[in-house]
Structure 1
Amino acid sequence: MSPLRMSTVGSMLNVTSVTKRYSGQDTDAVAGVSFVAVPGEFVALMGPSGCGKSTLLHLCGAMDRPDRGQILLGDTNLARLGDDQLTLVRRQRIGFVFQFFNLLPTLTLVENVALPLLLAGASPAEATRRARSLGDRVGLASRLDAYPAQVSGGEMQRAAIARAIVHSPALLIADEPTGNLDSGNGARVLELLVELNASLRLTILLATHASDIAAAAHRTLHMRDGQFA
Structure 2
Amino acid sequence: MLSVETVTKQYEGQERHAVAGVSFAVAAGEFVALMGPSGCGKSTLLHLCGAMDRPDAGRIRLGDTDLGRLDDDALTRVRRDRIGFVFQFFNLLPTLTLAENVALPLLLAGSTPADAMRRARTLGDRVGLSARLDAYPAQVSGGEMQRAAIARAIVHEPALLVADEPTGNLDSGNGTRVLTLLQELNASLSLTILLATHAPDIAGAAHRTLQMRDGVFVPDAGPVTPARPARPA
TM over 0.5, shorter chain: yes
Aligned equivalent of 2:184? 195
Which stretches of structure 1, 4 residues or longer, exceed 3 Å deviation after superposition?
none
Q: Secondary structure at the match of 1:66?
A: coil
Aligned residues: percent identity?
Answer: 82
Pairing partner for 1:130 from 109, 113, 119? 119
1:145-185 Cα distance to aligned partner (Å, 9 max, x none): 00000000000000000000000001000000000000000
- Distance in 2, matches of 1:159 and 1:102, equals 10
Aligned equivalent of 2:230? none
- Per-residue deviation at 1:23? 1.1
- Distance in 2, matches of 1:76 and 1:29, equals 24
Pairing partner for 1:170 from 159, 168, 192? 159
Q: Secondary structure at the match of 2:14?
A: coil
**Structure 1 position 49 matched with structure 2 position 48:** no
**Structure 1 position 60 matched with structure 2 position 27:** no
Matches within 5 A, 1:50-89: 50-89=39-78
- Matched to 2:20, the amino acid is A
Matches within 5 A, 1:1-229: 12-229=1-218
- Distance in 2, matches of 1:57 and 1:211, equals 18
Aligned equivalent of 2:222? none
What CA RMSD, in Å, does the superposition of the two structures yield over aligned residues? Answer: 0.4
* TM-score normalised per structure 2: 0.93
In structure 1, runs of 5+ residues without a counterpart are: 1-11
- Matched to 1:117, the amino acid is L
- Distance in 2, matches of 1:28 and 1:73, equals 23
- Distance in 2, matches of 1:84 and 1:124, equals 24
- Distance in 2, matches of 1:68 and 1:41, equals 26
- Distance in 1, matches of 2:54 and 2:65, equals 13
- Per-residue deviation at 1:81? 1.2
In structure 2, runs of 5+ residues without a counterpart are: 219-233
